[in-house]
Amino acid sequence: MIKATGLGMHVAEQWLFHDLDLAVDAGQCLVLTGPNGSGKSTLLHCLYGLRHPTEGTLEVAGLEPDERSLEFRRRVAVLLDDSDLFVELSPRQHLELLLGTFGADTGEVDDWLASAGLDDRGDVHAYYLSAGQRRRLLLLGALARPHDVLLLDEPERALDTQGKEWLATVAAAERERGRVVVMATHHPALLDVADLVVRLG
């Protein structure tokens, strides 16, 4: 599902990563670790087609990464550092809008909200959600839409202990469904669900 050969990114007169080979199969989880500035987010941006590597070849879900491509976006879901919400919409409205955009079933919105512990906040404007609740909603937005590959940039950010446990459960469930999960993280517990670990820096 993810194939990279000789991947390298040169930024500001230094290599963030160089000569990197990746082979991630369906049902596997790849975790990217390393200090801030080591290239974790940059590698995720390459996997989603937001940035082009300096060298090497890359294929995700059988396609060249290109976030402008509808076909690619239907195969690859993403939560990046700068992902945001429409604060005037409720969690329920967010999910209904997103699922409707992708032609997916909106009948399971209540189940999705309950799975993230947001069922009692489903009709409150996102503006009034806590930082952790907003993060859960952003994660739901990536999870609920159709995808074969899930890219997550520090998904544990702003989550409490219970939220981080939910996140680990979600990652495991994605693997069981035969999907690929790629997470850039500083949270050691997420290494427990990893099949592959790349340490950058």
Residue 106's pLDDT band, with cuts at 50, 70 and 90, is confident
The count of structural domains within the chain is 1
Report the C-alpha gap between 34 and 128 in whole angstroms: 33
Report the C-alpha gap between 95 and 88 in whole angstroms: 13
pLDDT, tens digit (0-9, with 9 covering 90-100), for 68-77: 999 999 999 9
Q: Which domain holds residue 63?
A: 2-199
CATH number reported for the structural domain that contains residue 181 in this entry: 3.40.50.300
Scanning the chain, the segments in alpha helix (DSSP H) are: 40-48, 70-73, 91-101, 109-115, 131-144, 161-176
Examine the pLDDT at 82 and tell me if it is beyond 90. Answer: no
Q: What is the pTM of this model?
A: 0.95
pLDDT, tens digit (0-9, with 9 covering 90-100), for 2-44: 999 999 999 988 999 999 999 999 999 999 999 999 999 999 9
Residue 124 is encoded by which pair of tokens? 């409150």
33, 200 Cβ separation under 8 angstroms: yes
